[in-house]
Amino acid sequence: MKKFISEYLKIIAYTSLGLVFMITSFYLLINYYHSAELKNHIYISSNDINYKEYQTKLIEISNNLNIYKAKKLDNPIYDKMYNKLLTCNTVLKEEGTLRTFETDKYHPSNDVYQLGTTFQSNALNICYALHLSYLNKEDAPKEFKKFAPFIQNTVNILSNQTQFALDEIKGNSSYFYSTNITSSTIRNPLESDYQIISSSYNEFASVILELSKIINESDNLNEGGSDND
């Protein structure tokens, strides 16, 4: 009887050890394939439409702001708006933005993720939250203030779509063996996530460009230029 119990306990012990080994191996495979997913790259061309349009718009914004500055209108309210747009133009050119994103090369998912977080911190938090939200105030120039609802709505859309792309990049994980099919499902979302984030940059630059056009057409503005005029 004792021998039977001893043999039975050995079977249970070996079975438990085997289960532990199987579970451990399974999680090691998960981590291996997940790390492989994170190493997937996408190729970004210098002909990428969002990249090219973004670069062009930043040049136009700079030109419009330079023209306004050269006019020396000495209009305090519009000078204030000029400084806000100048700050926006500066942060949209900073390191880590689409402007400085290297093209004609392969990028890992981490690069695309950082591109998205930089958009949130530079475009949304600095440019809009700290500067363009000023257009909702009473002393904002009426030529700009009328665009405030549209700008806020655009910012909300860009914020949501960028966050969606970032969440998808973070959650892009397939816990099964890699095949050609699963490999394509790993890469394709990263490509689409890049397109979402780069389009956010492009559309936000369009907003700044339109505002810079308005300030560039300020030759005949009366000093003050607010809704109280």
58-112, pLDDT tens digit by residue?
Answer: 999 999 999 999 988 888 888 999 999 999 999 999 999 999 999 999 999 999 9
Contacts of 134 (CB under 8 A, 6+ apart): 84, 140
pLDDT value at residue 139: 80
Q: Is residue 17 part of a domain?
A: no
Beta bridge partner(s), residue 105? 44
- Give the mean pLDDT of 11-31: 59
Q: Does residue 204 belong to any structural domain of this protein?
A: yes
Q: How many CA atoms lie within 13 Å of 49's alpha carbon, on the beta-carbon side?
A: 5
Does residue 132 have a pLDDT over 60? yes
* pLDDT confidence tier of residue 39, bands split at 50, 70 and 90: low
Residue 223 has pLDDT above 90, yes or no: no
| Residue partners of 184: CB distance under 8 A and separation at least 6 | none
Predicted local distance difference test score (pLDDT) of residue 226: 46
- Residue 44: strand pairing partners: 105
Question: Which pLDDT tens digit goes with each residue over 162-206?
Answer: 999 999 988 875 433 444 444 444 446 889 999 999 999 999 999
Instruction: Answer yes or no: is 221 within a domain.
Output: no
Tokens 């998205």 label which residue?
116
pLDDT of residue 19: 62
Determine the Cα–Cα distance for residues 52 and 34; give it in Å rounded to an integer: 33
Above 70 in pLDDT, residue 54? yes
Percent pLDDT > 70 in the chain is 71
Give the burial string for 120-139 (b: 16+ CB within 10 Å, else e): bebbbebbbeebbbbbeeee
Q: Identify the pLDDT of residue 68.
A: 92
Predicted pLDDT at 127:
96
Domain membership flag for residue 111: yes
- Is residue 27 included in any domain, yes or no? no
Instruction: Copy the structure tokens of residue 108.
Output: 């890992």
Q: What share of the chain is helix, strand, coil (3-state, %, to 5)?
A: 75, 5, 20
Beta strands in the chain (DSSP E): 41-44, 105-108
| 3 inside domain | no
Question: Residue 106 in 3-state DSSP?
Answer: strand
Stretch 110-120: mean pLDDT, rounded? 95
Count of domains for the chain:
1
| 28 falls within a domain | no
Is residue 23 in a domain?
A: no
Count the Cβ atoms, other than its own, within 10 Å of residue 39. Answer: 9
Mean pLDDT of the chain: 81
**Domain span including residue 60:** 39-216
Predicted local distance difference test score (pLDDT) of residue 179 = 47
